[in-house]
Amino acid sequence: MLQNLLRYRCSHVLLAALSLITTGVASAAVCPGADAAALSWLDKMSRSVRQVSYNGVVTLQRGDDMQVMQISHSVGEGTISERLTELTGQGAQVERADHPLDCIHPGHRLLRLGADLQAGRCGIAQYYRFSVTDGERVAGRMAVRIRIEPRDMYRFGYVMQLDGETALLLKAETIGRGEKILEKFQFANLSYSGQILDGTEVNLVHEAQHPLPPAAVPTASDGNKWGVGWVPRGFISTDIPVGGGGRRTYTDGLAVFSVFLEELGQEIRPGEGVVHRGSTLSYTRGMRFTGQSVLVTVIGEVPVNTARMVADSVDWTP
C-alpha cells in the first residue's frame, strides 16, 4: 500500500475527473455496480505519485505489531526521489533516487480506467465493487472514503481514505473474511513540501533498484522452463523474466503477489507451510517434477486459498 502514497495538482485532476465521471455514467450498463465517482478518485490516486511532493510520518499496524516510519517524496524535473525510514524496529531505510516520471508501472495503469470505460471495458471494476462517501479527518486533512469489495474469493477488500484536495492516500485498511481488519496504514502527520528529510540513525540502508528487463540478473533456474498456469482473473504479469527466471510477479492494480521457484539438492516431503503477517501471506509448497525436488513460494496480499491454487498450477521442466 505504501507505493500508492502520491497525489495531484487540482486543475489537471479536475478535468480528468470530470471526463472519467462522464464516461463512467455512460458505461453504467456495461459495468453494473461501477461507481463512477469512486473510480475517478482511484484514477487520481494512481497519478499523484508524479504530481505531489510531501513529507510525513506513517503508522503500519499488523495485528499487535505497530511500525512507525518517516516518508519523504519529492517530485523534481522529470524524476521522483523517495526515502522511507523506520523509526521503530531495526531502523532500516530504503532510498530511491531519480525514478523517471514517465515510467508508469502496471499497477498504476490498471487504476486508470478512462480509456477502458470509453471502449466499453470495465477494467478493475469487473473484480471489485466500489463506493464513495465523505471520509474522516486524517493527519489534519479532510478525506474522501472509498470502499472496495471483492467480487470473488480470490482477493481482499479495502477501505481507503484519500485527501479531498490532492487524492493522496492518507489511510488504508485491508479487509479479510468476516470484515476482519488485517492491516491498517495511516499518516500521523503530513506536510506538502519537496524537501527530502535527513534520515534518523539507521542500521541498514537499501537503495531501491529499477533495472530494465534486459538488465535483469539471471537466477539459478534460468536454464529451465517453468510457468504459472493459473492466476485469478484480472491479475497481469508485471515483469519480463530472463530465461527461465526464478520469480513471477502479478498485480490486479490493488493487490500484488510473487511466485518463486527454487531447485533443491535433496529430497523434500510433499507438504505446505503458511505464514501470515497482516495482509501479507507467505505460502510454501514442496513439489517434485520428473524426479527433481523444488520449493514453490507465493508471497503477497492474497488469501491462502488463492496462493494454494497458484502454487498448484506451477509447471516446471528440468
The pLDDT value recorded for residue 263 is 87
Do residues 149 and 295 lie in contact, with contact meaning Cβ atoms separated by under 8 Å?
no
Selection from 148, 190, 183 nearest residue 168 by Cα: 190
Rounded-to-integer distance, Cα 258 and Cα 211, Å: 17
The pLDDT value recorded for residue 198 is 62
Do residues 157 and 301 lie in contact, with contact meaning Cβ atoms separated by under 8 Å?
no
Rounded-to-integer distance, Cα 66 and Cα 45, Å: 25
What domains sit in the chain, N to C, each tagged with a CATH number? 2-207 (2.50.20.10), 213-317 (3.30.200.100)
Mean pLDDT, consecutive 10-residue segments, the chain of 318 residues? Answer: 35 32 39 78 84 93 91 86 86 78 64 62 86 95 96 96 95 95 95 70 52 44 74 87 72 94 82 92 90 91 97 87
Do residues 86 and 67 lie in contact, with contact meaning Cβ atoms separated by under 8 Å?
yes
The pLDDT value recorded for residue 89 is 79
Phi-psi region of 89 (alpha: psi -120 to 50; beta: other; left: phi over 0): left
Which segments of 229-270 are extended strands (E)?
236-237, 247-251, 256-263
The pLDDT value recorded for residue 199 is 53
The pLDDT value recorded for residue 290 is 79
Q: Where are the alpha helices (DSSP H) in the chain?
A: 10-26, 36-47, 106-110, 114-118, 304-312
Give the long-range contacts of residues 221-226, CB within 8 A, separation 24 or more: 221/245, 221/246, 221/261, 221/262, 221/263, 222/246, 224/263, 224/316, 224/317, 224/318, 225/316, 225/317, 226/261, 226/314, 226/315, 226/316, 226/317
